[in-house]
Structure 1
Amino acid sequence: MPTRIHAPSMRASAFIRARAAMPIDIDSPYPLAPEQIAQFRRDGFIKLKDVFDADTLRHYGEEITRLTIALNTQTVPLEERSTYDKAFLQVMNLWTQGGLVKEFVFGKRLAGIATALLETKGVRLYHDQSLYKEPNGGITPAHADQYYWPLDSDRCITAWVPLQAVPQDMGPLAFFAGSQHVEFGRDLGISDESERAITQNMEAHGFPIVDAPFDLGEVSFHLGWTFHRAGPNRSQTPRSVMTVIYMDRDVRLKAPDNHMQQNDWDTWCPGAKIGEIIDTPKNPVLFEAAA
């Protein structure tokens, strides 16, 4: 007897039409409780559930992936790369390509969360960055992002947005809770040395590492000086992540401490002047809190 495919009921049809008509939403506020802001202040990071739904991640993720593949310049086989280059494929400032990715990066939900967690009057874009850890990709060594940033304040934050769930074998981002106040290791870029020295120091001082999987739609936020790392991707699926880095809208450029900060100044803040607010065409204000 041939299999019959039944038409959906009237109620199911109405539900399908309603789902299809639902707009993609990246601008409505995400409510944060005072306890969550206090937790972020204490730990230097927070993971938030259900920031985006599956449809939204799919809608923007397909274009983010397409551009990451198209613009990536890594051609060296994985087994021949350095520890840094084994960690992920990365493409920065995808928003400058316009279209859906610019729409996502300029979305007010993430920027509003960043503003609330930083407890500032608003945030600017520092830059965005896709981070794709390939199957069999290596660890992301322990480090603090602000080693690379010529900013005169700690009011800067990264939103880490997985485009799929991140189980343990895919290498979820892991944080050393409370480490944002530690100065040891701030002079180390991502390397074998940073992994060894920072991890050893964190363990010696008893900073707990939070190394849990990410559910679909879960997003983390961490301060520039919060130490973090990630394990290898042992799965057969790329760990696809989009990040957006925000800074206090009033943050000022400081004289670079290393050649990486000089490169960031030239690349992500062109035209900014030391001691002045970083107000350039590449660093637009993305959110301002209500007065």
Structure 2
Amino acid sequence: MSNEAVKLPELSSDYSLTVEQISGYKRNGHTMLRQVVTPEEMSIYRPVIANLVKELNYHSKPIHERDTYGKAFIQIGNLWLKHEAARRYTLARRFAKIAAELMGVDGVRIYHDQALFKEPGGGHTPWHQDQIYWPLDTDNTITMWMPLVPILPEVGTMSFASGSQEAGYISKLVISDESHRTLQQYIDGKGFDIVNYGAMAAGDATFHAGWTLHSAPGNPTESMREVMTIIYYADGARTLEPDSNARRSDFATVFPDLKPGDIAANDITPLVYKKA
């Protein structure tokens, strides 16, 4: 292992959850936790991840020439396969244990990580459900959303429709203007409470269920909104026959060696936490 890897913080210590945080997550489909990563730890991980995203940024058009999805963020997946620091971050036991305890499962695997960097002038992220993209036959999925830099109120963090996870699969619409309109109407009709946690420090994190409806505002500031996400699912879950283009694409990328109905486990979906 390189000297660089030896110097990286382990991110393996426990983060203690309260009974109220776990029950709140199960009820609402989301929660926010302060300082999951300390400022000292983030000072080491953030520059490496930010430089990696800058290096891998695929956008060639200015923001005003992109579609709604392209305006929303620079999106880079599976950073953990591209750099040792990103690997240490994504496979961190601390995060995975939180995910397992919130879902109430004994073990979790990584589905993938994603950097979601919203550029200055970047557009809003429309209402959507994450799990419409994942060919997983389980409701035990969760996304960690962690700012690498402070997010001020004028930049904006995510908004969640509390309790919407109970509805399960609402719509196959991928992130788009159409998903925003259609799901806003659905939210209004159901009367879900909308929760936004406001300003977040670097290293704070929200966790939300795969079916929880969520959105985020645009970025009107001159600063990049740097966020890392990690998606987890319960160990032992099986793959699902893809029923949409989005899920067919993900199946081919994430589970190229598996068939529908197989246990969802391979080298790129490693087990990152197992209860003793």
Return the TM-score normalized by structure 1.
Answer: 0.89
Moved segments of 4+, more than 2 Å: 22-25, 182-186
* Inter-partner Cα distance in structure 2 for 1:256 and 1:51: 34
Structure 1 residues 5-62: Cα deviation after superposition (integer angstroms, max 9, x where no partner): xxxxxxxxxxxxxxxxx98351101001122111110000110011111121121111
Aligned residue among 25, 43, 47 for 1:58: 43
2:211 is equivalent to residue 225 of structure 1: yes
Does the 8 A contact of 2:169 with 2:211 survive in 1? no
Query: Residue 145 of structure 1 aligns with which residue?
Result: 130
Aligned residue among 117, 126, 133 for 1:132: 117
Root mean square deviation, CA, Å: 1.4
Cα shift at 1:186: 2.6
Q: Could you say which structure has the larger radius of gyration?
A: 1
Mapping for residues 82-97 of structure 1, pairs under 5 Å: 82-97=67-82
2:28 is equivalent to residue 43 of structure 1: yes
Does the 8 A contact of 1:184 with 1:198 survive in 2? no
2:173 is equivalent to residue 192 of structure 1: no
Identity of matched residues, %: 39
Cα shift at 1:174: 1.2
Query: Residue 24 of structure 1 aligns with which residue?
Result: 9
Structure 1 residues 190-234: Cα deviation after superposition (integer angstroms, max 9, x where no partner): 010111111121122211111222233210001110000000101
Cα shift at 1:183: 4.7
Does the 8 A contact of 2:8 with 2:44 survive in 1? no
Secondary structure class of the residue paired with 2:178: helix
Secondary structure class of the residue paired with 1:169: coil
Give the letter for the 2:42 counterpart: L
2:239 is equivalent to residue 262 of structure 1: no
Give the letter for the 2:233 counterpart: M
* Inter-partner Cα distance in structure 2 for 1:183 and 1:53: 34
Query: Residue 280 of structure 1 aligns with which residue?
Result: 266
Cα shift at 1:276: 1.4
Give the letter for the 1:246 counterpart: Y
Secondary structure class of the residue paired with 1:85: helix
Query: Residue 73 of structure 1 aligns with which residue?
Result: 58
Aligned residues: 269
Give the letter for the 1:126 counterpart: Y
* Inter-partner Cα distance in structure 2 for 1:47 and 1:25: 22
Structure 1: 5+ residue runs without aligned partners? Answer: 1-21
* Inter-partner Cα distance in structure 2 for 1:183 and 1:74: 33
Query: Residue 3 of structure 2 aligns with which residue?
Result: none
Cα shift at 1:164: 1.2
2:87 is equivalent to residue 123 of structure 1: no
* Inter-partner Cα distance in structure 1 for 2:188 and 2:151: 25
Return the TM-score normalized by structure 2.
Answer: 0.94
2:141 is equivalent to residue 171 of structure 1: no
Secondary structure class of the residue paired with 1:239: coil
Secondary structure class of the residue paired with 1:246: strand
Give the letter for the 2:216 counterpart: A
Give the letter for the 2:116 counterpart: L
* Inter-partner Cα distance in structure 1 for 2:136 and 2:263: 10
Structure 2: 5+ residue runs without aligned partners? Answer: 1-6
